[in-house]
Chain A
Amino acid sequence: MQVIPVVQDASAMKLDAPVVSLKNVHKSFGSLKVLNGVSFEVGRGEVLALIGRSGSGKSTALRCIDRFEVIDSGEIEVCGHRVSDPKLNLRALRQDVGIVFQSYNLFPHLTIEENIILAPCSVKGVGKAEAKEQAKQVLAQVGLEDKLHQYPEQLSGGQQQRAAIARSLAMRPKVMLFDEVTSALDPELTGEVLKVIEALAAAGMTMVMVTHEMGFARGIADKVVFMHRGKVHETGSADILTSPGTPELAQFVGTGL
């Protein structure tokens, strides 16, 4: 697998400023409080793993970063965009942030190549020839250079997810969000997707991922945030997964491994 260094546009932000920062974020769905004062930061080139039980708010926290959920109070800043500001330029934010979902969400009526060049061509105005060249490049990065002209349904789940990652990479995002991207895959296919994410991390991509793969989080994450009942219950380096500081995390990794 070929690794292409991730080009980061450092001039747009201060070098040491966090790429993603959440400050005291609150979010409710109706009467259900999902995020209850969540704060964390991700620095440039850092990999942050968001872990916790189902319903702990980790996926919601991730979705708030790309403004798929609008927060009730608090502050979120991503690559210099004030996400919590109602006047936010949503499309500018989403050009800087790549997001990959659990269900891949490739567009079924387009080939893999068409899936990949759609956004660069129509959003960034990249020429078709250049975009196709780039599509080859990002597909090589995820090991699918031979699937250019296939339709999503002709690929396995793991291949579809890698193609979805490639589609995000083609927009040259400054930060990637992964929302339980391996949860729908069997262990063998999970492995091939995780390898791709690992290579991205090695290339210096800033990433936030919600994951249930504890072994993977331990191997790759610079920072682990354990969420519990809508709050950041424990946070630290990947070491907290092996020596948890709170009984809740101890119980979670105990059952999670």
Chain B
Amino acid sequence: MGGSINVNHLMFLAQGALWTVGLSLIALIGGGIAGFIIALCRIAPNRAVRVVSAGYIQLIQGTPLLVIMFLTYFGLPAIGIPISPLAAASASLTVYVSAYLGEIWRGCIESVPRPQWEAAEGLALSRTQRMSKVILPQAVRIATPPTVGFMVQIIKNTSLASVVGFVELARSGQIINNSLFEPFLIYAIIAAVYFALCYPISRLSRRLEQRTGFVRPQLVEA
């Protein structure tokens, strides 16, 4: 017990930070793919598909991520599906992120002006062609700032994976603190690392938000 913080501790923290970044990327990619499908389901022509996807979003958004983590990590083995901490954390975050991104992106798709749909329809494009060639390219631009902003939420929420024993940044801080017992110093370092990860991203998000409309590089406003 005791002693002062040394290079090995810092290396351990750095490894934890890497896992935080890794888990965030898994959540973003997994949640992004699932969220995209959910966004499309939310505006599907079929009513049943719309209702089911809306129900999914309501259910997940109305459940704490912590509970989703417990459910996957402790609940699944209890019904005979063993799961590793990494798999449990990845699955939980994917489910959680998909519900939020699905709803954010549905809004972005629907905020492409209605006349754009009509113009595409008037040109005899099929629904799939209208979506992929006219609506989605425009929706992606609208969706970029809020999606980047949501990345910050994902990074911070990965800290909850520590409760299922996954050693990411927060958990590695806990472990070091258990041997050094310097909570103020160690958690301050942890906070600083989270901030260093999140701050550039939220700055980027704000920058993207200020850039409205279809401004191309050669036309960037002063």
**Which residues of A come within 8 Å of B, CB atoms?**
66, 68, 91-92, 94-95, 97-99, 101, 103, 105-109, 118-119, 122-123, 151, 153-154, 164, 167-168, 171
Within 8 Å by CB of B122, from A92, A99, A109, A151, lies A99
Docked-complex contact A119 and B124, CB < 8 angstroms: yes
Q: Is B133 part of the contact surface with A, judged by Cβ < 8 Å?
A: yes
Docked-complex contact B124 and A107, CB < 8 angstroms: no
A97 to B, closest residue via Cβ: B122
A67 to B, closest residue via Cβ: B121
Docked-complex contact B115 and A109, CB < 8 angstroms: no
Docked-complex contact A118 and B123, CB < 8 angstroms: yes
Docked-complex contact B123 and A101, CB < 8 angstroms: no
Docked-complex contact A105 and B125, CB < 8 angstroms: no
Residues of A within 8 A of B125 (CB): 118-119, 122-123
The CA-CA distance from A167 to B129 in the complex, in Å, is 16
Docked-complex contact B124 and A66, CB < 8 angstroms: no
B119 to A, closest residue via Cβ: A105
**Which residues of B come within 8 Å of A, CB atoms?**
115-116, 118-126, 129, 133-134, 137-138, 141, 213-214, 216, 219
Residue contacts A-B, CB under 8 angstroms, 11 given: A66-B122, A68-B121, A91-B126, A92-B124, A94-B122, A98-B122, A105-B115, A105-B116, A118-B123, A151-B216, A154-B219
Docked-complex contact B126 and A107, CB < 8 angstroms: no
A92-B124, A97-B122, A123-B126 are known; give 7 further A-B pairs, CB within 8 A: A94-B122, A95-B124, A101-B119, A103-B115, A122-B129, A151-B214, A151-B216
Residues of A within 8 A of B133 (CB): 118, 122
Docked-complex contact B134 and A107, CB < 8 angstroms: yes
Within 8 Å by CB of A123, from B116, B129, B216, lies B129
The CA-CA distance from A71 to B115 in the complex, in Å, is 20
Docked-complex contact B138 and A109, CB < 8 angstroms: yes
